[in-house]
Structure 1
Amino acid sequence: MADPFTIRIYVPDGDPDGVRVIDRMNWTGRGVAFPRDVWGRAMSRPELSKPGVYILVGRVESDEEDDLPLLYVGQTDDLLNRLNQHQKDKDFWDRAVVFVSTNDGLNRAHITWLEHSLIRRAKEIGQCHLDNGNAPKEPSLSEFEKADTQAFLREILQILPLIGITAFERPRVIKTTEKSTPVVPEAGAIDSIDTIIVPAKRDGFQRVFLGEDAWWAVRISGGKIPHIRYIAAYQTQPISAVTHWAPVERIEPYGDTGKYRLIFSEPAKKLEESIPFGQAKQGSMQGSRYTRLSDLLASKDLGELFKE
């Protein structure tokens, strides 16, 4: 178990949604987090006159549902001027956080190493999109400097989730199902809901459901998560039918908006006969639905399954 720790958050304007100054006892660093719309107040903070590393957070502008945030990680000797520039030339971000040293212990090599490490970690974890073009090369540090800078990074990584930035956290598995041959109970058997049916557009279905043996950006009611063992894909128009299903190996968080990624334990199986929309009510498959796999496979259409 990790050691317990205390974070202090100072709200200079009395607005918890405004500028927040983050500190820890016995830490030589300090963070300043703020939404973009209070940049005029944030720019007066003395911390922004120092060199440091910063993270801009926003969203991808896309027609597809994608709950991963868009991040830009940078470093600079002059945070005020650099962020003022990003206020003008980067439209995507709506909040930011900067980290500096309170004792001026961070030089250009240190902040470049922090930038390099944060970008590398974000790429490895895959819980965000990066707006960065080329990742910086790892600068050369003495073993003493590297040890100190690694400790500074650990402090940053402990603080980020507490201010709503989870892109540097490895996803925690919410549910795991043992790999075994799926057993489909008889239709009508007394059993709890075990299957989630998700709507899928053609491109995402081919690329992710079939190509990656996974599905994501799924919102699942917390009480249903422990019972989910299977996932079925309802292909939207022009197919308008459930065509495939797969056993779920694990469920983990996806992005930072309370949705999940479902990883299959084996490739999806194609149904011998697709289950059409049929007489289901209009809008029935605009979002996820829950059922038992046995009942799904025994249904002639979704209207019969949902008794609509």
Structure 2
Amino acid sequence: MANAFTLRIYVPSGDPEGVRIVDRMNWTGRGYVVPRDRWIEVKNRAELANPGVYILIGYETDEIGVERPVAYIGQTDNVKTRIENHDIGKEFWEQAILFISTNYGLNRAHTTWLEWELIQRALSARRCRLENKIEPGEPNLIESEKADTRAFLNEMVRLMPVMGVQIFEAAKTAAPAELAAAGLLPAIGESKDLIVVPAQKEGFEHAFINQNAWWSIRVAEKHRANLKWIAAYQVSPIAAVTHIAEIDHLEPYGDTGKWKVVFKGPAIKLPKTIPFGDAPSGAMQGPRYTTYSALQKAQSVKDLVK
């Protein structure tokens, strides 16, 4: 279990949705959450004319209408000047997350390393699309400098979820043994190894068929370790389960606790589609869990949602 800690969050304007300044006792850093339309309220603070690192965050909508974070990670000798430039030159961002040292302990070498490490973490977590065009190599720091800079980074990462930033931490899927120990696995013989997802025509064709994947869905924790198959229920006017694919892996999608399901290969059309039939109204408004064997025997969706 992580150690408990206390934060101080200062809201200069009195508006909780406005600028927030975050720090904690015995840390030489300070974080700022700055909505783009509130930048004018904070930009003239003297401490922002110093070195720091920053994350610009916005959102984009993909081909099937799902919103996903977009981020740009940078470092600078003068936070104010750099964000002013980005306010003019970059359109996508809606919020800036800034970090500086309150004792002026960060120099160019430190901020360059912090930028590099944050980019590596964002790439590994795969919870956003990075706007950074060039992936830098690791900057050289002597051992003691790197240790101090990593300690600064650890405090930044600890604060970020409180500041509403989750793009640096990959959601983790527990192994079956861990799930069983937590009492989250179904009893033997009841494991649900197939998820049925409702799909609109455009999303079905673009993602399920052409991309061999399905994304932005919530997957119950107790089922993640057992899922081997995904089936598509095409909504009205088709109103039937029509295709199935074998699952290769699940990966976090965005920063909202949703997932992307990646297939091992192209989806296969079922020899016989499974109509909605006499299933209860609303039965396929969200993902449903069943078994591969149940899908093989099903005469209608009602047989899958028992």
* One-letter identity of the residue aligned with 1:273: P
**Separation in 2, partners of 1:154, 1:192:** 39
Contact 1:253–1:261, Cα closer than 8 Å, also in 2: yes
* One-letter identity of the residue aligned with 2:243: T
- Deviation readout 1:6-31 (Å, 9 max, x if unpaired): 22211111111111111111111111
**Separation in 1, partners of 2:211, 2:36:** 34
**Separation in 1, partners of 2:175, 2:51:** 42
- Deviation readout 1:140-185 (Å, 9 max, x if unpaired): 222221111111111111111111111111312267489xxxxx97
**Separation in 2, partners of 1:17, 1:77:** 28
- Name the counterpart of 1:28: 28
**Separation in 1, partners of 2:74, 2:271:** 53
Contact 1:199–1:286, Cα closer than 8 Å, also in 2: yes
**Separation in 2, partners of 1:246, 1:137:** 37
Over the matched positions of the two proteins, sequence identity in percent amounts to: 41
Contact 1:175–1:225, Cα closer than 8 Å, also in 2: no
- Name the counterpart of 2:222: 226
- Name the counterpart of 1:258: 257
Q: 1:107 to 1:305 in 2, by over 3 A?
A: closer
- Name the counterpart of 1:140: 140
**Separation in 2, partners of 1:166, 1:274:** 42
- Name the counterpart of 1:160: 160
* One-letter identity of the residue aligned with 2:288: Y
In the alignment, structure 1 residue 275 sits paired with structure 2 residue 278 = no
2:98 partner SS: strand
Q: 1:88 to 1:274 in 2, by over 3 A?
A: farther
* Mapping of residues 91-240 of structure 1, within 5 Å: 91-173=91-173, 176=176, 195-199=194-198, 201-206=204-209, 209=212, 215-220=214-219, 225-226=221-222, 229-230=226-227, 231-234=229-232, 236=234
**By how many angstroms is 1:277 displaced?**
4.4
Q: 1:257 to 1:280 in 2, by over 3 A?
A: farther
- Name the counterpart of 1:12: 12
Q: 1:61 to 1:290 in 2, by over 3 A?
A: closer
Q: 1:18 to 1:298 in 2, by over 3 A?
A: same
2:31 partner SS: strand
With the length of structure 2 as denominator, give the TM-score of the two structures: 0.78
- Name the counterpart of 1:181: none
In the alignment, structure 1 residue 80 sits paired with structure 2 residue 80 = yes
With the length of structure 1 as denominator, give the TM-score of the two structures: 0.77
**Separation in 2, partners of 1:248, 1:28:** 44
**Separation in 2, partners of 1:97, 1:291:** 39
Larger deviation, residues 82-91 vs 20-29: 82-91
1:243 partner SS: strand
* One-letter identity of the residue aligned with 1:37: D
* One-letter identity of the residue aligned with 1:202: E
- Deviation readout 1:192-242 (Å, 9 max, x if unpaired): 9775311452342246547xxxx431035xxx5425744532164998643
Contact 1:9–1:23, Cα closer than 8 Å, also in 2: yes
Contact 1:35–1:96, Cα closer than 8 Å, also in 2: yes
Structure 1 residue runs of 5 or longer lacking an equivalent are 179-183, 186-190
**Count of residue correspondences:** 288
**Separation in 2, partners of 1:174, 1:16:** 35
**Separation in 1, partners of 2:156, 2:69:** 18
**Separation in 2, partners of 1:175, 1:218:** 20
1:81 partner SS: helix
